[in-house]
Structure 1
Amino acid sequence: MLKDMTRAALAAALLVAGLSSSLPAAAQGYPPPPPPPGAVPGAVIVPMAPPAPRVEVVPAPPPYAAVWQAGFWRWDGYRYRWIRGHYVRPPRERHEWVAGHWEERPGGHIWIEGFWR
């Protein structure tokens, strides 16, 4: 009987050990690994480079003040998807659009969002 209880306890311990090894480090009580050098907080590192940008035909501007925002490749978690360019009204007069771009970093590529300056 003692032998059966020992086997059951050992089996339970092995089961728990096997389950905990598949948990993230933080769930096991360990701190997460440090981010790679040059990482941007909250940025997703994509292991493969984006395709070359597509050539877009820029339509005539609208009859109001607008800035053309060129198309770009967006990573959706599985693959790159093309986001078409479009005209946008600037938030204020004389604001300039700085386009987003992909940057190579250790471990892959990250997207740097565009912004108004």
Structure 2
Amino acid sequence: MPFNSRSTLTALFAITLMPAAAFASSDDAWEAMRADVSVKCIEAAAGSIEMPVAVVDPFGSNSFGLALVSGKPKGADGKISQICVYNKQTKAVELGGELTDEMLAAPAK
């Protein structure tokens, strides 16, 4: 079989691009997951928090997306936060209880 430098170069070029393409789609998938976690957690918290803001864990756990949703409690003063858990398979969310700033600032024991 004769050596064809053009074919070899083409194959090498294609091989070097494959990891970049996989990495890009992976970044896109992570960004889409983070956006979905943010939207769904904010929607879930809208019943108890005025203008909620979500801070999303960049990767979550193996099975769950995680976010901390914060804002002013409806009908009250102050600020509360709720932990939001997003099931990566079903895309369902659940909220934890209301955490006050005082609870979050409590010194470690």
TM-score, L = length of structure 1: 0.33
TM-score, L = length of structure 2: 0.35
Higher helix share: 2
Higher strand share: 2
Higher relative contact order (CA 8 A, sep 6+): 1
